[in-house]
Structure formats: structure tokens, C-alpha cells
Structure 1
Amino acid sequence: MYKNIIFDFGGVVVDFNPRNFLMDRFMNKRAEEIVYEITFGSQEWQDLDRGTITRAAANRIMLENAAHVNRVFEVQTVIDEWATMLRTKKTTVKVMKELKAAGYRLYYLTNIPADIMDELRQRDWFALFDGGVASCDVHLCKPEPGIYTTLMQTCRLAYDESIFIDDSKINAQAAYNLGITGILYKNPKSMCRALNACGIELG
């Protein structure tokens, strides 16, 4: 029944947990909330994902906003270090290799800035993908229906033959609403259980 497995990147194929990142560095709830709003929770961050602003311009605006609330040091720390979060999730890559060996086609659908997408393309696991859509390239972001339909049309995928794995409930639900089977990623075991429930046997 299923032929295509679609993966989100951040939180599924690579680690991405901004709240933990901030907690590890500042250990001050108030500071963490303010810095989150200026960086990860900002319009600029969304615009980076959408591919409508440059990294340099986004960083400049974030630092200007930080200056208004005396958080320049903290925001500069985020700018300098946040990409260190993006460690490859080896368990996910192992599952991807199993799926590929079993004949499934792998795709990606990710909200991601252009510079980070360029970096991930260099990682050895990227070659496992048969195609995909990055938000920065199409100026659309999950959970907007348009980014899902762009993937399905571009890669010529049938909705009822496709499974989408995302660590965001809203994004997984958006796929489900369009007729794609959505799996909410919580951890490797739950992902494998959900795939098994779909009739996909993993070792």
C-alpha cells in the first residue's frame, strides 16, 4: 500500500530543540523566554524558513531587537551557536537505510533556511532521499497546505501511498487532512511502532 516515506528534518533526522538549547546556556527562565521570542520565535526566523530574508539581514534585526531589551550578548550567543544543535539522529538514519533497502522511496519536507539546507545536503545520509521540498526554496512553510501539495506534485506522489513523519503535531495533522498518513515523531521506538502499524516491517 505505502511506497513513499516523507521525513521532516529538524527533530526527526537531526536534533532541534531550541528550548533545551536556551536552558543549557542561560539557566534563567525569564532570559530564555525573551531570547526565544527574539530568535527562534521571531518573524525573522519564519522569514528565514520561507526564504524571504538573508541570514545577515535576519541576524541584524534580531540584534537590533535584542539591544532594546539589553539581551545582545544572549542573542549573539544564539546566532553563533544554535546550528551546533543539528546533530544527526543516527537511529533515524538507520531506519531510513532499512526502508530504502526494503524498496521504499524516501522524501523530505522541511521548514528550513537556505544556509542550513546547503549544509545538510553535504551530509552522507542526504543521498538516501529520492527528492523533497525545502520551505526556503518554495517560499511556503508547514503547516500551509500548499507546501504539501507542492511536494506531492513535484515528486509525483500519490497521497494514499505516502507517510509523513514530523515532530510537530500540527504539521503531521496538516498532512493527514490532505490524505497523507501522518506520524507524529516522539522517539525512535514510537516511530518504528507507528510504521509497523502501517504494515511496514522493520528489523
Structure 2
Amino acid sequence: MYKNVIFDFGGVVVDFNPRNFLMDRFMNKHAEEIVYDLTFGSQEWQDLDRGTITRAVANRIMMENAAHVNREFEVQTVIEEWASMLRTKKTTVKIMRELKEAGYRLYYLTNIPVDIMDELRQRDWFPLFDGGIASCDVHLCKPEPEIYTILMQKCNLAYDESIFVDDNKINAQAAYNLGITGILYKNPKSFLRALGACGIQLK
């Protein structure tokens, strides 16, 4: 019987679709691929999630790399505007509130930089969580098994009583491999169906 539901943030609780963001800004497939590799797909972005580099240093390196391929304007645009993507997914929060009211405990497990984590902690839905792990705090990132293990130990969660929700198939699979039920988040309807398949029926 499930007691705990663990949420990823980006793509589940808040919007995060870098490729759509780039398409909206630049409308040029070739440019989008180059800029993605310089920003969201870069080592610096991974290091931000891992908490091993500061935002200032990451931005400086990304701009230096952009200069080598004459993409400073595009990368500067991403640096200045990307966080505008992170709008709260109101339907997910509604489901979270219903889960909470039904007696389930909520946790988070997210790959996220320090500054963004600090901002999300200020949002009105954050107190719904009973605990969680941010990658930047433990210098580990999903799908590394260790970050899941740290969450389960820190919050004293039983693997067979826990569901993990992520919009990334690899991350959901990594949870499943450890004995946690993984749900791949696609949209609210499929999420509710998946919860129903786990025996969780909400209003």
C-alpha cells in the first residue's frame, strides 16, 4: 500500500521545456541546436544542478563558449530569460493538495541549481512537501542511484510504499530499478490514470 508520492519539479510541478523555449525565441532549428548545446545541454548546466559551480561562473563560461561560435546574443537571451519558463503547473498542485488531503505524504527529488531551488522554496505550494532532496545540496543528480537512496534514507521511506513521478523516462526507470514505483509524467490525465492504477483514487 502506497503512502508516499515523490515529485520531480521541472516538467512536473513547474513548466520546463527548453526546446520549446528556444523555438519560441529563435525559430531556427540550426541555431536552436547550437544554443541548446551551449546552455541547457552544457557541462556548466549539469554542474549547476550538481551544485559544484556558481551561477556567475557558469554564465561566464557559457558566454565565453558562445563567443567562439558567434552566438553571444542568443546565449545572453537564454541566461536572462530562461527562468521565465518555470511557471507553476496549477493542475499538478491541485493533485498534490488532493493527495495531501487523502493522507499521502509528499516529497521532492529534483535536479536543480541552488538559486532556482531558493526561489521555488518561496512558492505557496512548497509547504505541501514533507521533505525532499535537491541535487545541488548533495552534489548528485538523477538518474544516479545514490541520490534516490539518500532521499529514502533521509526521509525514512519504504521503497515499496513510494511512488516517484518524473517527466524523464530514464529518471523514472532508475527509481523503478531500485524498487520504487516510477510514473512517467506526460500530462495531468495520464498522471491521474497512473495513480489510479496504483490504487490511488482522487476526487
* Deviation string, structure 1 residues 124-160 (Cα, Å, up to 9, x no partner): 0000000000000000000000000000000000000
* Deviation string, structure 1 residues 95-132 (Cα, Å, up to 9, x no partner): 00000000000000000000000000000000000000
Q: In the alignment, what sits opposite 1:187?
A: 187
Matches within 5 A, 1:22-101: 22-101=22-101
Paired with 1:39 and 1:169, the residues of 2 have a C-alpha distance of 22
Q: CA deviation at 1:201?
A: 0.6
Q: CA deviation at 1:63?
A: 0.1
Q: In the alignment, what sits opposite 2:109?
A: 109
Q: In the alignment, what sits opposite 1:159?
A: 159
Q: TM-score, normalised by structure 2?
A: 1.00
Q: CA deviation at 1:202?
A: 1.0
**Residue type of the partner of 1:109?**
L
**Residue type of the partner of 1:127?**
P
Paired with 1:42 and 1:188, the residues of 2 have a C-alpha distance of 30
Paired with 1:129 and 1:63, the residues of 2 have a C-alpha distance of 36
Paired with 1:39 and 1:202, the residues of 2 have a C-alpha distance of 39
Task: Tell me the matched-pair count.
Answer: 203
Paired with 1:103 and 1:154, the residues of 2 have a C-alpha distance of 20
Q: In the alignment, what sits opposite 1:4?
A: 4
Paired with 1:72 and 1:169, the residues of 2 have a C-alpha distance of 32
Paired with 1:79 and 1:90, the residues of 2 have a C-alpha distance of 25
Paired with 2:92 and 2:192, the residues of 1 have a C-alpha distance of 10
Q: CA RMSD in A?
A: 0.2
What are structure 2's unaligned runs of at least 5 residues?
Answer: none
Paired with 1:178 and 1:13, the residues of 2 have a C-alpha distance of 23
User: Is 1:119 the counterpart of 2:119 in the alignment?
Assistant: yes
Paired with 2:62 and 2:34, the residues of 1 have a C-alpha distance of 12
3-state DSSP of counterpart to 1:124: coil
What are structure 1's unaligned runs of at least 5 residues?
Answer: none
Q: CA deviation at 1:161?
A: 0.2
Q: In the alignment, what sits opposite 1:168?
A: 168
Paired with 1:90 and 1:4, the residues of 2 have a C-alpha distance of 20
* Deviation string, structure 1 residues 56-105 (Cα, Å, up to 9, x no partner): 00000000000000000000000000000000000000000000000000
Q: TM-score, normalised by structure 1?
A: 1.00
